[in-house]
Structure 1
Amino acid sequence: MNGPEIHVEFDRELLLFVPQARPAGTLKTATDGASTLGHVVESLGVPLTEVGALLVDGREVPVSHVPQAGEEITVRKVAHPQQVPGAPLRFLLDVHLGTLARRLRLLGVDTAYEATDIGDPALASRSAAERRVMLSRDRGLLRRRELWAGAFVYSTRPEEQLAYVLDRFRPELRPWTRCTQCNGLLREATKEEVADQLKGGTHRTYDVFAQCTECGRAYWRGAHHEQLEAIVERAVALRAQLR
């Protein structure tokens, strides 16, 4: 771009995407006089999924606004909790967020997950077809226009990732109701119904079981239950604080 120059200020959280604006959080950039403000912001590195209000000289404008020379632009981060059109709130996670996907499912949040890399176009199309919020650390994926909705997952640590999603979207939690393997709903099951999945010790020790209505996987309070229970308790407590 080699046209009118504008001055852009970013919220601190967005500086991850705009290293050239650090440390002050501001930069000057030229536009072509025809591109929208949304296009300009994305060209500077910020996916629009992460943008909240856009202000021009202190007044809010839509992403379709065409910047003019000398304008003072402020780019705000998305407000929390983020309101997503359409219900119920559902998610789609890419191949890099497997642990987060399992934890969301553990909490009863409808979470689709691609364990193999099917490519950005296919992920974006699935997000749109199923009206799922795309969670990813791939900035290019989050810029795709086909997305129903999306969000950048800032941390690489599963505990922090989960806390961020709970804070940003405030999903309803229904722990122990979804299969962590396939996202199907769980139902109560008898020992006889899941006997073919049980080893001798399990068969003798446990009496309470659940089974996935989709893939048939059996669940019981096994050796890792205390660790999983701790994850659930922390998440439920955090979600209660965010009300």
Structure 2
Amino acid sequence: MVTATFRFYEELNDFLPAERRRREFVAPCAENATAKHMIEALGVPHTEVELILVNGESVGFDRRLRDGDRVAVYPKFEALDVSPLLRVREQPLRTPRFVADAHLGALARLLRMAGFDTLYDNRYHDREIADIAGRDGRIVLTRDRDLLKMRSITHGCYVRATEPVRQFLEIIDRLDLARNARPFSLCLVCNAPLRAVDKATVLERLPPSVRDSHERFTTCDACHRVFWEGSHWRRMQALLEQSLQSPASAQGGSQ
């Protein structure tokens, strides 16, 4: 029987049972098992992994494990430059675009609010999400570990937080998205681009109180909704300012 010694680092330990966290442990491996197969068999989705060292050598997911191998598995590095080493994926996606699973509708809305192209439909099945991610080059957002283990998904994030605002802050911080934000450029409902529109062209679609108190409007050509800078807009703006200035230290809140 082939056995190997494993050690997982930082937040990857969240996926392991308590007795295996932050320590080395020995595990039996299937015959001809690859690094990817064993990492996922131990509970860690491959999309969460940035670097694998086997016996101190940087390897890819397809490295077949041999008896006595020592395997170290790392998540995304925040400070250490690992550019000379073999990362397990190709180059990062140039433009961050997302597809969220059925349980993350509120997060999808917040990401759209910040200007990040995010597809969401609570009728999406796992296979459909994987197909969309592969076809469009999107990052999968989910709290379903099994979804991230699907072979066809190359970029994904397991969302650890359970409350939508905290989820939003987590993704902004983890993927370093602050500089890419384009607040209020996308429709919160259908994800289509918003455009400025003259007040006179939408006047009949506005509540009477809005007609008298607002002058700037945007509209979505897909769903034809009209948006203005009301109290909801101001609450969202405050959240964006908080999260984009210091997402790591923000405590979250509710809209």
Change in CA separation of 1:58 and 1:180 when aligned onto 2, cut-off 3 Å: same
Per-residue deviation, 1:223: 2.4
The residue aligned with 1:12 is: 10
Aligned-residue sequence identity (percent) comes to 32
The residue aligned with 1:144 is: 150
Q: Is the 8 A contact 2:5 2:71 kept in 1?
A: yes
What SS does the aligned partner of 1:122 have?
helix
The residue aligned with 2:76 is: 78
- Residue of 230, 234, 248 corresponding to 1:222: 230
Change in CA separation of 1:240 and 1:53 when aligned onto 2, cut-off 3 Å: closer
What SS does the aligned partner of 1:67 have?
coil
What SS does the aligned partner of 2:199 have?
coil
> What TM-score results when the alignment is normalised by the length of structure 2?
0.85
Residues 93-104 of structure 1 aligned to structure 2 (within 5 Å) = 93-104=100-111
What SS does the aligned partner of 1:75 have?
strand
> What TM-score results when the alignment is normalised by the length of structure 1?
0.89
One-letter code of the match for 2:124?
I
- Residue of 68, 87, 96 corresponding to 1:89: 96
* Alignment partners' CA distance in 2, 1:128 and 1:141: 13
Change in CA separation of 1:182 and 1:150 when aligned onto 2, cut-off 3 Å: same
- Residue of 128, 138, 141 corresponding to 1:135: 141
Q: Which range is displaced more, 175-184 or 73-82?
A: 73-82
Change in CA separation of 1:202 and 1:5 when aligned onto 2, cut-off 3 Å: same
Q: Which range is displaced more, 17-26 or 85-94?
A: 17-26
What SS does the aligned partner of 1:192 have?
helix
* Alignment partners' CA distance in 2, 1:239 and 1:118: 29
- Residue of 19, 22, 28 corresponding to 1:30: 28
* Alignment partners' CA distance in 1, 2:96 and 2:204: 35
Gaps of 5+ in 1: none
Per-residue deviation, 1:59: 1.8
The residue aligned with 1:108 is: 115
Per-residue deviation, 1:7: 1.0
Q: Is the 8 A contact 1:8 1:72 kept in 2?
A: yes
Gaps of 5+ in 2: 80-88, 250-255
Change in CA separation of 1:29 and 1:20 when aligned onto 2, cut-off 3 Å: farther
The residue aligned with 1:59 is: 57
Per-residue deviation, 1:11: 0.9
What SS does the aligned partner of 1:193 have?
helix
Alignment size in residue pairs: 238
Q: Is the 8 A contact 1:106 1:178 kept in 2?
A: yes
What SS does the aligned partner of 2:200 have?
coil
* Alignment partners' CA distance in 2, 1:70 and 1:47: 23
Q: Is the 8 A contact 2:170 2:248 kept in 1?
A: no
- Residue of 210, 213, 230 corresponding to 1:202: 210
* Alignment partners' CA distance in 2, 1:164 and 1:239: 7
Q: Is the 8 A contact 2:130 2:150 kept in 1?
A: yes
Per-residue deviation, 1:224: 1.8
- Per-residue CA deviation, residues 99-153 of structure 1 (Å, 9 max, x unaligned), is 2111111111111112x23210011111111111111111111111222521111
What SS does the aligned partner of 1:210 have?
strand
